[in-house]
């Protein structure tokens, strides 16, 4: 093993990470502050910089360093970095450089067109861009290779080790449990009154409360910021610059408050990855499923719990309109946990959330497999929404165009949300054996929770693979029973259902 080569390898990884940080900053700017006329030129710049990343990842220099260092590094961290770089090399080198640059430029343009199409409920405007993106992804899947289903090649980008075979075993079990519970809830005479949450809630007061909660969660505002966007996201430029965005609705505070907490969960993960991993491919969440487990843990298992609001409801009232001043906590808690099928995924209640994901998964799988075409999506989307949630979108803005993911070519991403929810339920069950989570929330003391997550998940970054994290933390692989038990017990309580 050559220490000289190891130093050169680290320098090369740092150069790659620097380009990626610049691309990330431009992407954040395009989604938050950039003027419309600047989008076209910015897309070209992102394309150029992404080509530089592609060049580094597939360079002869990278290939030679991986070959020399593999199995001969000075530390486990460096060995994992080599392993990660090799996997990226093997996947990336299969895509022709010019084709990759064309794809990245298309991504940036498509996102801008998607936003316009969404605002105008005009799928036809977005359709030609989406068709090109799907063509790219079908080709990429062939380049990468797969054993059983073409979609497996795309799943691997977000959740290594996950396959269509596994999802098609797990998802139907969860869907059956959720739709059965949903049917019981809709038949119940003990429904919360959501009207108690109505009333004008000024954006600036929602922002102030959201910032207060982020600070209490442990989000470091000296290493991040909160901004407004059309579709909420968190982005880690580096461990000292992890940004959160949210969307405000002055008629429904839940969109911003729970959305901000969700993105805050993502950000806490990135802010607490070990600093030793900086400027390596390991300074990131190990998979999108594990990433989603962190955001959904905070959003649902913490922020939608009665214990959380016992402490934070008085704080909430300091920012909320007068109409909340006399509202009992029990009524408030039940109302924020109302189960009601809705069109918008990011506004879905926690019981129906996974059903939204299954709609998208089934369409993506069929699309990449060539069983359906892009032009079929609006019709098929509406049919699946009717089948699973009993509702039909009135326009494409609240239907097939609502998510940003497809405009970025992120096929294979959506299952991560449902997987993350299942992972979070498993982690929640184990955490409660180690610490009194309810007592922590009632006292507003999140430190034990933060430290547990940091020690068991956050600090590792990509040092551990997703299935390793789940196995090490919970003592077993993916098990949907924890999620089914959690939602069943919670909603039997709220809706007074027979057990």
Sign of dihedral through CA atoms 253, 343, 419, 417? negative
CA distance 49 to 424: 35
Q: Which two tokens stand for residue 435?
A: 């610490």
251 in the same domain as 111: no
170 in a structural domain: yes
Confirm if 254 and 197 have CB atoms less than 8 A apart: yes
In 3D space, the residue among 161, 155, 159, 127 whose CA is nearest the CA of residue 141 turns out to be 155
User: Of 6-20, 31-45, 73-87, 144-158, where does mean pLDDT reach its minimum?
Assistant: 31-45
CA distance 287 to 162: 11
321 in the same domain as 205: yes
168 in the same domain as 111: no
Domain of residue 92, residue span: 3-121
In sequence order, what are the residues at sequence separation of 6 or more whose Cβ sits closer than 8 angstroms to the Cβ of residue 186?
none
Q: Which two tokens stand for residue 362?
A: 């089934």
338 in the same domain as 219: yes
285 in a structural domain: yes
User: Of 36-50, 139-153, 311-325, 454-468, where does mean pLDDT reach its minimum?
Assistant: 36-50
454 in the same domain as 314: yes
Measured CA to CA in angstroms, residue 77 lies from 81, 277, 280 at distances of 6, 8, 9
**CB-side neighbour CA atoms (13 Å) of 303:** 28
Q: Is the pLDDT of residue 183 over 90?
A: yes
Task: Read off φ and ψ for residue 279, nearest 5 degrees.
Answer: 60, 30
When divided into structural domains, the chain yields a total of 2
499 in a structural domain: no
219 in the same domain as 108: no
Among residues 121, 142, 173, the one where a domain terminates is 121
Among residues 94, 121, 148, the one where a domain terminates is 121
Q: Is the pLDDT of residue 97 over 90?
A: no
Could you count the other beta carbons within 10 Å of the beta carbon of residue 436? 12
395 in the same domain as 292: yes
106 in the same domain as 195: no
148 is catalytic: no
Among residues 121, 149, 173, the one where a domain terminates is 121
DSSP label at 461? Answer: T
Catalytic residue among 111, 263, 350, 364: 263
24 in a structural domain: yes
CA distance 27 to 24: 5
258 in the same domain as 335: yes
128 in a structural domain: no
Q: Is the pLDDT of residue 214 over 80?
A: yes
196 in the same domain as 92: no
Q: Model confidence over 368-405: pLDDT tens digits?
A: 999 999 999 999 999 999 999 999 999 999 999 999 99
In 3D space, the residue among 359, 361, 354 whose CA is nearest the CA of residue 480 turns out to be 354
141 in a structural domain: no
Q: Model confidence over 8-27: pLDDT tens digits?
A: 999 999 999 999 999 999 99
Mean pLDDT of 254-266: 95
349 in the same domain as 482: yes
Q: Which two tokens stand for residue 197?
A: 């949450």
CA distance 69 to 89: 14
157 in a structural domain: no
143 in a structural domain: no
Q: Is the pLDDT of residue 91 over 70?
A: yes
Q: Which two tokens stand for residue 324?
A: 């909340």
101 in the same domain as 28: yes
Top mean-pLDDT range of 72-76, 158-162, 347-351, 460-464: 460-464
Q: What CATH code is carried by the domain that includes residue 345?
A: 1.10.1370.30
In sequence order, what are the residues at sequence separation of 6 or more whose Cβ sits closer than 8 angstroms to the Cβ of residue 455?
none
Q: Is the pLDDT of residue 259 over 50?
A: yes
Q: Model confidence over 462-472: pLDDT tens digits?
A: 999 998 999 99
Q: Is the pLDDT of residue 227 over 80?
A: yes
Q: Which two tokens stand for residue 342?
A: 């809705």
- Residue 1 is predicted with a pLDDT of 46
- Banded model confidence at residue 353, pLDDT cuts 50, 70, 90: very high
């Amino acid at each position: 093993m050559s220490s000289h080569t190891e130093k050169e390898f680290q320098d090369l990884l740092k150069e790659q990470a620097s380009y990626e940080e610049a691309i990330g900053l431009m992407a954040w700017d395009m989604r938050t502050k950039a003027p419309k006329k600047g989008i076209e030129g910015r897309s070209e710049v992102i394309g150029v910089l992404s080509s530089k990343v592609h060049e580094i990842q597939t360079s002869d220099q990278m290939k030679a360093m991986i070959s020399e260092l593999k199995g001969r590094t000075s530390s486990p961290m460096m060995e994992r970095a080599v392993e990660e770089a090799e996997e990226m090399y093997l996947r990336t080198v299969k895509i022709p450089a010019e084709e990759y640059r064309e794809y990245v430029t298309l991504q940036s343009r498509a996102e801008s067109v998607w936003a316009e199409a969404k605002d105008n409920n005009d799928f036809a405007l977005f359709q030609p861009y989406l068709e090109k993106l799907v063509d790219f992804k079908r080709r990429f899947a062939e380049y990468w290779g797969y054993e059983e289903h073409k979609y497996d090649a795309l799943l691997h980008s977000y959740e290594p080790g996950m396959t269509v075979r596994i999802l098609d075993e797990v998802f139907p079990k969860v869907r059956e449990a959720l739709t059965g519970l949903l049917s019981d809830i809709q038949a119940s005479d003990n429904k919360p009154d959501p009207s108690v949450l109505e009333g004008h809630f000024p954006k600036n007061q929602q922002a102030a409360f959201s910032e207060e909660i982020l600070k209490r969660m442990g989000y470091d505002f000296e290493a991040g910021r909160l901004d407004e966007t059309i579709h909420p996201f968190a982005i880690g430029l580096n461990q000292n610059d992890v940004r959160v965005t949210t969307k405000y609705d002055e008629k429904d505070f839940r969109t911003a408050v729970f959305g901000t907490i969700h993105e805050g969960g993502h950000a806490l993960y990135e802010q607490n990855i070990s600093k030793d991993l900086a400027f390596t491919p390991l300074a990131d969440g190990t998979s999108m499923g594990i990433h989603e487990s962190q955001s959904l843990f905070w959003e649902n298992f913490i922020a939608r719990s009665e214990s959380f609001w016992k402490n934070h409801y008085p704080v909430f009232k300091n920012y909320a309109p007068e109409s909340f001043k006399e509202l009992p906590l029990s009524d408030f808690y039940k109302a924020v946990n109302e189960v009601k099928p809705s069109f918008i995924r990011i506004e879905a209640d926690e019981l129906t959330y996974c059903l939204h994901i299954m709609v998208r998964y089934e369409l993506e799988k069929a699309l990449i497999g060539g069983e359906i075409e892009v032009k079929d999506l609006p019709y098929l989307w509406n049919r699946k929404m009717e089948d699973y949630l009993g509702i039909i979108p009135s326009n494409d803005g609240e239907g097939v165009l609502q998510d940003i993911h497809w405009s970025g070519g992120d096929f294979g991403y959506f299952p991560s949300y449902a997987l993350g929810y299942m992972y979070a339920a498993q982690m929640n069950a184990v955490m409660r054996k180690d610490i009194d989570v309810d007592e922590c929330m009632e006292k507003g003391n999140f430190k034990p929770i933060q430290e547990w997550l940091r020690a068991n998940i956050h600090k590792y970054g990509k040092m551990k693979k997703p299935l390793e994290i789940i196995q090490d933390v919970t003592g077993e692989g993916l098990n949907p029973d924890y999620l089914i038990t959690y939602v069943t017990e919670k909603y039997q309580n709220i809706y007074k259902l027979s057990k």
